[in-house]
Structures are given as structure tokens and as C-alpha cells.
Structure 1
Amino acid sequence: MQLSSMVQLGLIGLLAACLPLAMVWMSSDPNKYRKLVWVTVFLTFDLIVFGAFTRLTDSGLGCPDWPGCYGAANPFLAHAEIVAAETLMPTGPVTVVKAWIEMIHRYLAMGIGVLIVALMGTAWVQWRKTRRAEFAPGLPTALFVFVLIQGAFGAWTVTLKLQPVIVTIHLLLGMGLLSMLVWLGARQNRAAALAHGRFTAPAAGAPTMLCRLALAAAVVLTIQIALGGWVSTNYATLACLDFPLCNGNLVPEMDFEHGFTLWRELGKTAAGHYLPFSALTAIHWVHRNFAFVVLAVLGLAAWRARAHPGVARHARGIALVLAVQAATGIATVYLNFPLTIAVLHNAGAALLVLMVTMLNYKIKYPSGPVLQASHHQ
């Protein structure tokens, strides 16, 4: 890719970040740093949902090179090459629409990268000036390193031709980035509330059982997202065409060995043969059945948290999203994989990551109303 095209891409990334940065700067909120964190959370959530749309519309190779599109900074400049590829294979991975979907995804990712650089830079400057805990630069710096790793996996997603393990890791890193940003945002909220005297840190935290349940919820949710990513990246969503049975059987014919061999090409076994349908069935079946574990653990965590001060609202939110996730997961089977429902299912997973992260933060760092604290004194 030529230097001029790289410069153009960099400028597009800066432009993608200009609007949210301008919104933060012109906001009436005096705490611009906290505002920037939550704007970045919102855009990262959007990026995950749009990434799901990119994957589900088979647009991951809409531009078969990286970081540009046929060496150009945008599909307009690569129009001739894209049209030639589409003419050669009208139903192939490269079309004009798919190229734009893929590049918009990349532009949004670059814009978020710029915002994270801004978060890190602001944190370091303010930390050196004030030494205030909310500007501790460790987490923003970790976010910067994390987004670089995420960018590398985004590149390998394209250059390794949608290799399932790479795409799945790319998804997990995106969810991890969202979780880290939410943790940072929760830290800013708590610091602002304590500074303005609206809350005080209570002496007693959450019960040990609730702490363990919240952590277990995060672990099983991570596993389920990995399994869901494995289903999506292997195109195994329709491997089971009924529910609760799978192709008429409680335990259908399954090939776990080939289905869960991680290092292999898309649609192939490690030996290079076509992946048998029984392997896709195994992938789908495991994700579907582990969902019952997720429902049990997250449901129990929400039930136990509902009466705990400060997290009852998050508990209700988790319960609601769990119900919607179950409904959209079943609907993808019964409605033969409609795109909108599938994207909503991915959005629900990201929303659960956000809520479970908030639950864990508020349990770990509880705070209570000042009036309540004064009443006990």
C-alpha cells in the first residue's frame, strides 16, 4: 500500500474521531474525561454490533487486503477492482456493498483507536498534575495496548481468509475491550459521585457468595461468547434446524474432533478436507446446551443481587437481557437465521458483557447514599 493511501486512511480515522471528540468538548458536562469514556463505550458497543453485521453478511473479505481496499483508502478509489471481482464472482466475497460494509467497520475501529489514544494521553497528563485516583493511567494504557492487539487480529482476520480461530479471538478481544472501557467508565462515575458528596464508600461490601456468583457469571459468559463466535465463524448457525431437539434427536451425530480443532482453514479440517456436517452440528449443539449453564449462573447471580443495594437495577437488566437472548437464540433457528435477529443476538451478548462488568465493579467497589451513611453514624 502506498504512503499516500496510508496517510489518507489515517486522516479518515482522525475524522471518524472528530465528531465524538467535538461532542465531548461542546458538552455541558464539566467532567469531559468521564464523558469521553462513556462516548467511547457507546461507540465500541456499536462497533461490536456492526462487526457482527459485517460477519453475518459475509463481508469480512469485502476488501481482500488490509488496511485499505485494493491498496486504496476507500472503495471509491478501488471501484474498478471491486467491480471486476464482483463480475467474475457475483455471489463471491467481494462486492461493492460488501466492500463498503467492511471499510466502514475499519473506519469506525480506527476512530475508536484515536479516542483511546486521547483517553490515555489525558489520563497521563492529569495524573501527573493531580495524582487523583480516577486518572490513574494503568487502565487507559492497558486499553491502548489492547486496541493494538485487536487491530492486529483484525488484520489477520483478512490476511488469513477468515480463519475461524482468528475471527473468534477478534470477537473476544472486542468484548474484552468493551468490558475494560465499562470498568473505566464505572470508575469515573464512582469518583465523580464521591467527589460531589452524593455517595460514600460503605465499610461493608457485598456478601462473599454474591461476589463469587458475579465472577462466575463473567467467566461463563466469556465461554459462551467464545462458543457463539465459534458457531458464527464456522457458519454453523443452521446445523440444528429444530429446538429443543437437534435435527430430531436429543443427542445427534456429532464430530467433536474436527469441530473443535482450532487451527484450520474455514470450512476445512486440519488435514485440508471439507469439514463434515456432523462437525458443524457438534459446534452448534455445544453452544446451544451451554446456554442453559449461562441462564442458570447469570440468572442466579441476578436473583441474589436483586436485593443488594446499588446493584438491583443491574440485576433486573441482566434478567431482562437474558430472556431476550434466549428468545433471539431460539428465533434464529425457527425463523431460519434472519439477519436482524442474528445481529440482535450478538448485540444482546455485548449488552450482557456491559451489565455483568458493571455488576462486578459495583460489588467490588460499593457505594451508598450519603443520607443513609449519615443516618447510621
Structure 2
Amino acid sequence: MHHTTLAQMAITALIVALLPLSIAWISKDASRYRKLVWIGVFLTFDLIVFGAFTRLTDSGLGCPDWPGCYGLANPFLAHEEIRAAEALQPTGPVTMVKAWIEMIHRYLAMAIGILIVAMMAVAWYRWKKGRQAAYRPGYPTFLFFFVCLQGAFGAWTVTLKLQPVIVTMHLLLGMGLLALLTWYGGRQDQLLRPASAVVPPARLVPVRRLALASSAVLLVQLFLGGWVSTNYATLACTEFPLCGGKLVPEMDFEHGFHLWRELGKTAAGHYLPFSALTAIHWVHRNFASVVVLVLGWTVVRAWPIAPLRPLARAIAAVLALQALTGVATIYLNYPLLLAVLHNAGAAALVLLLTMLNYRAKFLHDAPAAHR
């Protein structure tokens, strides 16, 4: 790719990033840096939802190279190449609409990368000046390397032609970035507004353990959900709670859960049998009951603790919404809006569980910090 194209893309991403950077700069918040972190959380959540929209509209190869579009900075400049590809295959994978969806996703991702670079730069600068706890540079530096890894998987998603394990890892890393930024935001909140409520540590220990268990269970379900989506197995079962008229349908776990293979193919290069897609869908569907039970019990234990009650209430609401949208996508034959909402609900659970984990830890550690 020509260096002029890279410069044009960098300038576009910087323009996208200037709005959130300006919001943080002119903010009357007691800590502009804290504001910047939470803007990063907000945009990362948006990126995950838009990434789901990109995947669900089959726009992941809207521009079949990376980082540009046919070696150019945007679909306007690649108009001829896109129209030629669209003429050969009118329904995709390359169309003008899909190219724009894919490039908007990339620009938003690059803008978030710029925000994290800004966090890291400010942290190092302020740390060298005053050694303030809010600006310890280790965490934002780790975020920088993490977002670079996420960017690498974004590139491999395109260059390896939507290989399911790569796309699923790209999704999990996006959720991981959301969790890391949320944790960092919680730390900034704690430094700005120390806890006033005192909760006996003995009441918090079981909630902390359950919150960690809930995060682990949710991570497994995120992988399974990503595996369903990247293998296009959402409609492998079109009824609920049965699948193909049976509680336990015919399933091919060996091919369905073989990780390193091409999209729609077995490891040997043959077409993936429908029973493999059924296995992928069925495991995700049934593991959802484990998620509901574990997260539901976490909500029950956290609810009586006043500082944790708002988070418990929000988790309960999102969990119910997830169950509703998950079943509705089956009965309504996979409408796009519901599928995007289901992905947004998963991201919301990641955000809320991270906040619950941090809040429970902070409240548990607060009495020791005051001794």
C-alpha cells in the first residue's frame, strides 16, 4: 500500500478521534482524564455493536484487503474496483454498501486506538511530572499493546477470509478491551470519589467469588456465541426448546468444534455437514442456562448490598433481555435488529460484570486501606 494512502487513513481516523478528544478536553468533569477513559469505554461498546452489525450484514470482506480498500483510503476512491466486483457477484461479498460498513468499522477502531495512545501519552507525561496515582502508566501502556493485538486479529480476519477461529478471537479480544477499559474507568472513579459506604468484608467475599465465576462462565458463552455467529449456525435450530423436533438432535461435535479450518469447511477441506452447525448452535443454546443460573445467583447475593444493588438490577435486566432476544432470533428467523441487540446485550453484560467485580473488590479493600 502506498504511503499516501496510509497517511490519508491516519488523518481520517484522527478526525474521527478529535470529537471524543475535544469532549474530554472541554469537559467540566473534576478529572478530564477520567472522562477520556469513560469515553473510550463508550466508543469501544459502540465498536463491538457496530462490529456485530458488520458481521451480521456479511460486510467483513466488503473491502477484501487491509487496512485500505483495494489499496486505497476509502470506498469513494475504490469506486471502480468495487463496482466491478459487485457486477460479478451482485449479492456480495463486495458491494458499495458493504465496503462502507467495513471501512467505517475500521475507522472507528483506529480512532479508539488513537484515544488509547492519548491515554498512554498523558499518563506518562503526568506521571513524570508528579507521580500521581491516577496516572500510573503501566495500565494504559498495557492497553496500548492489547489494542495492537486486537488490530492484528482484525487484519487477519480479512486476510484469512473470515476464518472462524480468527473472527471469534477478534470478538473475544474486543470484549476483553471493553472489560479492561471499564476496569480502568472504575479505578479512576475510585481515585476521584473514595467510597463512603462501609460493607463488612465477610458479606463481600461470596459476591466477589460469584462475580469472578460469572465472568468465567460469560467468557465461555461469549466464545460459543461467537462460534455460532462466525460459522453462521444461528438458524441450525429453528424451534425452541426442541431442535429438529428433538431435545438432542443429530450432532457432529468433531467437525463443529474443530478450531483451525476454513469458513464452511472441515479441516480436510470438505463442506461442513449441517449436523456440525447443529452441534454448534445446540451447545451455545444449552450453555445459556448455565449462564442464567450463575449470573442469576450472583444477582441474588449482590442485591441486598446497597452499593451493589444498581449493578445487580442492571445485570438482571440485561440477562432477561438476552434470553428474550436469543429465543426471538430463532422464532423470527434471525432478524438483523434482534441479532445486533443480542450482541449488544452480551457487551453490556461484560461491562456490568466488570463493574460489579471492581466495585466488590474496592468495597472489600476499602476498610483495609483506611486502617
Shift in alpha-carbon separation, 1:296–1:202, aligned structure 2, 3 A: closer
Per-residue displacement from partner, 1:151-171 (whole Å, max 9, x unpaired)? 000000000000000000000
Aligned-pair distance for 1:369? Answer: 11
Amino acid at match of 2:38: W
Within 2, Cα distance between the matches of 1:269 and 1:67?
29
Confirm whether residue 299 of structure 1 aligns to residue 272 of structure 2: no
- Asked if structure 1 preserves the Cα contact closer than 8 Å seen for 2:153 and 2:170, the reply is yes
Per-residue displacement from partner, 1:97-126 (whole Å, max 9, x unpaired)? 000000000000000000000011111122
**Which structure 2 residues correspond to residues 260-279 of structure 1 after superposition, within 5 A?**
260-279=257-276
Amino acid at match of 2:258: T
The answer for the alignment partner of 2:361 in structure 1 is 364
Amino acid at match of 2:326: G
- Asked if structure 1 preserves the Cα contact closer than 8 Å seen for 2:221 and 2:291, the reply is yes
The answer for the alignment partner of 1:174 in structure 2 is 174
TM-score, scaled to structure 1: 0.95
Aligned-pair distance for 1:202? Answer: 6.4
The answer for the alignment partner of 2:307 in structure 1 is 310
Per-residue displacement from partner, 1:63-103 (whole Å, max 9, x unpaired)? 00000000000000000000000001101200000000000
The answer for the alignment partner of 2:131 in structure 1 is 131
The answer for the alignment partner of 1:240 in structure 2 is 237
Within 1, Cα distance between the matches of 2:175 and 2:149?
13
Within 2, Cα distance between the matches of 1:205 and 1:23?
41
Confirm whether residue 217 of structure 1 aligns to residue 214 of structure 2: yes
Shift in alpha-carbon separation, 1:369–1:151, aligned structure 2, 3 A: closer
Greater Cα offset, 166-175 or 29-38 = 29-38
SS in 2 for 1:342: helix
Aligned-pair distance for 1:192? Answer: 0.3
The answer for the alignment partner of 2:191 in structure 1 is 191
Within 1, Cα distance between the matches of 2:9 and 2:142?
24
The answer for the alignment partner of 2:72 in structure 1 is 72
CA RMSD, aligned part only?
1.8
Within 1, Cα distance between the matches of 2:260 and 2:64?
21
Aligned-pair distance for 1:13? Answer: 1.2
Within 2, Cα distance between the matches of 1:14 and 1:83?
28
Within 2, Cα distance between the matches of 1:187 and 1:72?
41
The answer for the alignment partner of 2:32 in structure 1 is 32
- Asked if structure 1 preserves the Cα contact closer than 8 Å seen for 2:49 and 2:344, the reply is yes
- Asked if structure 1 preserves the Cα contact closer than 8 Å seen for 2:204 and 2:364, the reply is no
Within 1, Cα distance between the matches of 2:182 and 2:30?
20
Aligned-pair distance for 1:201? Answer: 7.1
The answer for the alignment partner of 2:164 in structure 1 is 164
- Asked if structure 2 preserves the Cα contact closer than 8 Å seen for 1:74 and 1:103, the reply is yes
Amino acid at match of 1:343: V
The answer for the alignment partner of 2:62 in structure 1 is 62
Q: How many residues align?
A: 369
Amino acid at match of 2:90: P
Within 1, Cα distance between the matches of 2:140 and 2:241?
44
Amino acid at match of 1:132: Q
- Asked if structure 2 preserves the Cα contact closer than 8 Å seen for 1:256 and 1:279, the reply is yes
The answer for the alignment partner of 1:253 in structure 2 is 250
Within 2, Cα distance between the matches of 1:305 and 1:38?
24
Within 2, Cα distance between the matches of 1:80 and 1:155?
23
**Which structure 2 residues correspond to residues 92-111 of structure 1 after superposition, within 5 A?**
92-111=92-111
The answer for the alignment partner of 2:282 in structure 1 is 285
Identity of aligned residues (%): 66
Greater Cα offset, 2-11 or 132-141 = 132-141
The answer for the alignment partner of 1:20 in structure 2 is 20
Per-residue displacement from partner, 1:328-361 (whole Å, max 9, x unpaired)? 0000000000000000000000000000000000
Within 2, Cα distance between the matches of 1:136 and 1:169?
29
Within 2, Cα distance between the matches of 1:225 and 1:274?
25
**Which structure 2 residues correspond to residues 2-17 of structure 1 after superposition, within 5 A?**
2-17=2-17
- Asked if structure 2 preserves the Cα contact closer than 8 Å seen for 1:205 and 1:366, the reply is no
Within 2, Cα distance between the matches of 1:133 and 1:299?
35
Per-residue displacement from partner, 1:169-199 (whole Å, max 9, x unpaired)? 00000000000000000001111002xxx73
TM-score, scaled to structure 2: 0.96
Within 2, Cα distance between the matches of 1:149 and 1:369?
34
SS in 2 for 1:311: helix
Per-residue displacement from partner, 1:16-52 (whole Å, max 9, x unpaired)? 1001111111122231000000001000000000000
Within 2, Cα distance between the matches of 1:297 and 1:124?
40
Identify which of 333, 348, 352 aligns with 1:351: 348
Shift in alpha-carbon separation, 1:205–1:99, aligned structure 2, 3 A: farther
Shift in alpha-carbon separation, 1:246–1:132, aligned structure 2, 3 A: same
Within 2, Cα distance between the matches of 1:317 and 1:151?
31
Within 1, Cα distance between the matches of 2:142 and 2:307?
28
Identify which of 317, 321, 325 aligns with 1:320: 317
Amino acid at match of 1:174: G
After TM superposition, where is structure 1 displaced by more than 4 Å over at least 4 residues in a row? 200-203, 367-370
